[in-house]
Amino acid sequence: MSTNQKVAVIGAGPAGMSAAYCLARAGLKDVDVYEASDSVGGLARTIELWNQDVDIGPHRFFSSDKRVNELWLEVAQKDYKMVNRLTRIYYKKKFYYYPLKPFNALFNLGIFQALLCVLSYGKQRIAPTPEDGSFEAWVTRRFGKRLFRIFFKTYTEKLWGIPCEKLDSDFAAQRIKKLSLYEAIKNAILPSKKNKHKTLVDQFAYPVGGTGAIYERMAESVKQRGGSVHLNSPVQNVIQKDGKATGLQLEDGTVKEYDHIISTMPLTLMVTRLPEVPEDILERTRKLKFRNTIIVFLNINALDLFPDQWLYVHSPELDTGRITNFRNWIPEVYGQEKTTILALELWCYDEDPVWKETNDSLIEKASREIRSTGLIGKSEILGGHVYRIPRCYPVYDTGYKENLEPVENYLSSVKNLHVIGRYGAFKYNNQDHSILMGMLAAENIVENRNHNLWEINTDYETYQESYVITETGLSKQGE
């Protein structure tokens, strides 16, 4: 075990802070975290609005990996509560439970439409759509063409901004890998823990101070153990010499030398700014794209608007893709305030006009759309706040792996460079995946392990016994 190394961590999101926390806990004194923004947490940060704590979008932590849960509980201590999960699909002013509840779907769709959906699914069982590597073909084979159009197409194209036939099936395989119409109906009629899809958990653990509290505590622990967390300190580039990462340069020109670099900065930025990169790798990197998010927070003068933590908006007439209701998490986030904060999400690319719209225009747009849903009735909208997140979703367009894999192979050849996280590894990670990446990157450095960090993806499964967080701590799944 080597604890006398100097390590720099680029980015203070879940992956970066988990890596720094584990390094400092292992005894490394020279651990420096560099964060471009003014707070830690990355996509999982918590901010204060109108005297309430809100996350930047909905964040549900859940893992069945014992290592990840033990680390999370070590940091959270007893300061968390269990939340009963409710997320539904909003489509044509009706709510559909997710996962599917047959009577709810039948009532909302109507008998005729439901029958057509079943017939469409039956057709796939007899003559399935050929697999062509696209999201559309993957989902159609498992749900039928009609259900694909109702419950997958509109939302997915809002999120990614490309037709479903041009989206790689990896997105579906990682997010709804074992789910099909047959599995959904079986789980609804004969519910059991064995056939419940792993992303459809009924409860999840939520920190009393908001999701970002976990990473704020990690940052404090790093500092208490002798490390540093530098906010408002964007990194310009990693320094590479003869195939080895030797340090980094900040945007202000400051150069720092390190034994190891852990990078969670967007892969497209890191690689194109890295010295000595072959032109072929640069060209492939330029073909990889990220999708931006705009979150419009609205302060509504009302309580008990709807019971969901968030809604997936499948209605094609609305640009909003997801609506979060922060009143439905835990009381500690809103305290004594008597209003409800809603967050409406829009997704876009840099070149899309909406990305350049003024805050006032975006607040007006979000207010108009939430009114049209009927979700707030005649309640007064007291204020709005716009939060822009560039490069937050790695785009899995068809063929993206042909460009990503050579980049992965090249970065793996750069000694002492460890690339992790949703941004850094160009993987559509949840918090638990990013935390695990950070933990394993730290082990590679401190214990000289050889974990392949690229293999940690959103579809990874634990092959040991599964454990989950409950109100009383860690419990073996199924007990």
Mean pLDDT of the chain: 90
Three-state DSSP state, 398: coil
Among residues 154, 160, 177, 137, the alpha carbon closest in space to that of 395 is found at: 160
Number of domains the chain is built from: 3
| Displacement of CA 339 from its chain's centroid (Å) | 27
Q: Is the pLDDT of residue 102 over 80?
A: no
Q: Is residue 466 part of a domain?
A: no
Cα distance between residue 159 and residue 395, in whole Å: 10
Q: Is the pLDDT of residue 461 over 70?
A: no
Specify the pLDDT at position 197: 46
If you search the block for the tokens 């497209």, which residue do you land on? 268
If you search the block for the tokens 């975006």, which residue do you land on? 362
Q: Is the pLDDT of residue 188 over 60?
A: no
Three-state DSSP state, 344: strand
User: What amino acid occupies position 112?
Assistant: F
Tell whether 282 and 294 lie within a shared domain.
Answer: no
Q: Is residue 55 part of a domain?
A: no
Strands (E), 92-167: 94-97
Cα distance between residue 421 and residue 14, in whole Å: 8
Q: Is residue 202 part of a domain?
A: no
If you search the block for the tokens 């999400």, which residue do you land on? 345
Tell whether 273 and 405 lie within a shared domain.
Answer: yes
Q: Which residues contact 38 (CB under 8 A, 6 or more apart)?
A: 231, 232
Tell whether 380 and 449 lie within a shared domain.
Answer: no
User: What would the pLDDT profile of 238-255 be if each residue is shown by its tens digit?
Assistant: 999 999 999 999 999 999
Whole-angstrom Cα Rg for the chain: 23
Q: Is the pLDDT of residue 198 over 60?
A: no
Q: Provide the 8-state DSSP code for 457.
A: -
Cα distance between residue 237 and residue 240, in whole Å: 9
Tell whether 321 and 379 lie within a shared domain.
Answer: yes
CATH at 357 = 3.90.660.20
Cα distance between residue 99 and residue 334, in whole Å: 28
CA distances 447 to 36, 65, 168, 258, Å, are 29, 21, 36, 17
Q: Is residue 379 part of a domain?
A: yes
Q: Is residue 474 part of a domain?
A: no
Cα distance between residue 465 and residue 28, in whole Å: 31
Tell whether 247 and 126 lie within a shared domain.
Answer: no
CATH at 271 = 3.50.50.60
Tokens of 8: 């720099």
CA distances 458 to 140, 180, 289, Å, are 21, 18, 18
Q: Which segments of 154-226 does DSSP mark as H helices, in order?
A: 154-160, 170-175, 181-189, 212-224
Tell whether 383 and 308 lie within a shared domain.
Answer: yes
Tell whether 252 and 213 lie within a shared domain.
Answer: yes
Q: How confident is the model at residue 471 (pLDDT cuts 50, 70, 90)?
A: confident
Tell whether 272 and 310 lie within a shared domain.
Answer: no
Q: Is residue 103 part of a domain?
A: yes
Tell whether 273 and 403 lie within a shared domain.
Answer: yes
Among residues 382, 315, 378, 293, the alpha carbon closest in space to that of 342 is found at: 382
Tell whether 220 and 76 lie within a shared domain.
Answer: yes
Tell whether 403 and 386 lie within a shared domain.
Answer: no
Tokens of 140: 């159609």
Whole-model pTM?
Answer: 0.92
Of 132 and 463, the structure prediction assigns the larger pLDDT to: 132
Q: Is residue 196 part of a domain?
A: no
Specify the pLDDT at position 44: 95
The parent domain of residue 355 ranges over: 290-394
Tell whether 390 and 403 lie within a shared domain.
Answer: no
User: What would the pLDDT profile of 254-282 be if each residue is shown by its tens digit?
Assistant: 999 999 999 999 999 999 999 999 999 99
Specify the pLDDT at position 429: 86
91 CB-contact burial (10 Å; exposed 0-12 / middle 13-18 / buried 19+): buried
Q: Is residue 91 part of a domain?
A: no
